[in-house]
A and B are shown apart, each in its own frame.
Chain A
Amino acid sequence: EAGVAQSPRYKIIEKRQSVAFWCNPISGHATLYWYQQILGQGPKLLIQFQNNGVVDDSQLPKDRFSAERLKGVDSTLKIQPAKLEDSAVYLCASSPGTNYQPQHFGDGTRLSIL
């Protein structure tokens, strides 16, 4: 089966600019996750979708971050405006159902803020 696809792989922007990331999960996977991974740390969950509904977004900085999952398939994560501390790898993952099942990760988008 095809894995989780993410684009772009790398992005460099200046602070206060906006940026968007795209994720295509494994076909048939109901749950989609966006994580932020700062260098040297573990991934931090930003938002979790079950189909096209939000299950958890408690750690999403909603004043600047937004995410949507149209038709319960692809998803986009947007940052507007970006801050220096947003420099990180943004990982997308999917699973067939709940957290009782393994998550499949994409290779992420490495974001650098200048």
Chain B
Amino acid sequence: SQQGEEDPQALSIQEGENATMNCSYKTSINNLQWYRQNSGRGLVHLILIRSNEREKHSGRLRVTLDTSKKSSSLLITASRAADTASYFCATDGGGGFKTIFGAGTRLFVKA
């Protein structure tokens, strides 16, 4: 079973718009990570947020974490065509060893 579930499953926006993806999980966690996957490629790590953090920024990325709601969001500002990819959240399930990925959000940015 998958720990993280992303929402929406797919998102299509115009270049320059912001994209928001959400992730919900079931059990307590120590950290949550977001990854990007371009078609036919491996996953690329974007950002890691620990359970005692509420918000983190990296360039055009902003991640929030609400442990009381067991949810996280990834915001990509001023999106570009190159941001077209699948985005996955991953949690450690609280145990610290096993990484559990969600099903992903497929983002399409139209030029």
Spell out A's residues near B (CB within 8 Å): 4, 33, 35, 40-45, 48, 55-56, 58, 91, 93, 98-108
Give CA–CA (A79, B2) in the complex, Å: 23
Among A40, A43, A44, A105, which residue has its beta carbon within 8 angstroms of that of B44?
A: A105
Contacts of B45 in A (CB 8 A): 102-104
Contacts of A107 in B (CB 8 A): 40-42
Contacts of A93 in B (CB 8 A): 42-43
Q: Describe B's contact surface by its main secondary structure.
A: loop
Minimal beta-carbon separation of B105 from chain A (angstroms): 10
Q: Which residue of B lies closest to A99 (CB)?
A: B92
Q: Which residue of B lies closest to A41 (CB)?
A: B103
B99 touches A55 (CB 8 A): no
Among B4, B40, B99, which residue has its beta carbon within 8 angstroms of that of A45?
A: B99
Minimal beta-carbon separation of A30 from chain B (angstroms): 13
B41 touches A102 (CB 8 A): no
B13 within 8 A of A: no
Q: Which residue of A lies closest to B40 (CB)?
A: A107
